[in-house]
A and B are shown apart, each in its own frame.
Chain A
Amino acid sequence: MTARTTYLDKGVVSAMSALSAAAKRGLGDPALAELVMMRASQLNACAFCLDMHAEIALENGESPKRIALLNAWEEAGELFGERERAALALTEAVTVLTEGFVPDEVYERAAAHFDEAGLAHLIGVITVINSWNRLMVSRRIEPGGTFS
């Protein structure tokens, strides 16, 4: 498999990086940000993004077991906390937008665990990874990193 194109305007790349940094900084929870980014990348089937964020998560001390079970987080018992579960449910709703809005119960569940600024930045992180997913999948950027 080769990339369709590796080109992307420098202005777009730097604007994306700045957006990404602003959202993650505002959320202030790097471990959660990586879970969110891996889950959205699973749904959008972005190989490059999964490779990259699994690697970052492992380097940050995330457990291989939680990464392996992230795809089935709802059935993974105590492995994920209530705050993480609320964030993952919101991630799924905002990612699979075409199936119909973001349900009230999903939004309310997240709002119970995050204040308004936290929620705005969580939505920001979900949106940012959805953007990277689109930029990488459509250009078919290959996963390149080595697993730690």
Chain B
Amino acid sequence: MGYRARRVVAMTTTNEHTTATEDTTEYVHEHTPRLAWAQHAPEVFKAMIKLDAAARKGLDPVIYELVKIRASQINRCALCLDMHTKDALAAGESVERIVQLSAWEESQHFYTAKEVAAIELTEAVTVLTDGFVPDEVYERAAAHFDEAELTQLIAAITVINAWNRFGVSTRQVPGHYKPGDIK
């Protein structure tokens, strides 16, 4: 069996329990990863974990997860989306803010000005091949983050872009992550 995060097709409520009826829908077969890269490059994997820990220091944890999700949407990293949406929800993030994130320009009132500046910088640093990081995007972020936090934000954007590259190129499989699996 592949996909585990089944839709809830029916709920039965008795006095004591609420039970979800098992979903019997036939889903598309789950793919296998191209390469178990962490097993074949364990030192690289360990170094990535350390880099991730170094990059999140001093950065607002709510903004950190929004950045992780937005970059993973742009890079279309399924495993990273699975992981970071679950981590964000477990940390108390709202479903609404996660769902609206890919259309944040039209739903800015869901976010603080500081979060919007961070999301905008995330897009510019992620889609680097479209040409640099525009001055106005950088300046807007610099107006909300001091130098130390801004450079940690840049580091965090860089690190999720790195995880996205490992995840997408080796075709890692989403659906099995549970919050707290990787610390």
Contact = CB atoms under 8 A, between A and B. Distances in A.
A119 B40 contact: yes
Given A15-B50, A19-B48, A135-B154, A45 B165 contact: no
B54 A98 contact: no
Residue of B36, B55, B129 ringed by the most chain A CB atoms within 10 A: B129
Given A12-B155, A135-B155, A138-B154, A120 B54 contact: no
Contacts of B168: 94, 97, 101-102
A44 B54 CA distance: 24
B43 A22 contact: yes
Interface in A1-29: 4-5, 7-9, 11-12, 14-16, 18-19, 22-23, 25-26
Contacts, number: 151
Q: How large is the interface on A (under 10, 10 to 19, 20 to 34, 35 or more residues)?
A: 35 or more
B126 interface: yes
A26 B54 contact: no
**Interface residue tally on B, bucketed by range:** 35 or more
14 contacts: A7-B148, A8-B151, A9-B152, A12-B55, A12-B152, A16-B51, A22-B44, A22-B46, A23-B47, A93-B169, A97-B76, A100-B76, A120-B44, A134-B154
B129 A43 contact: yes
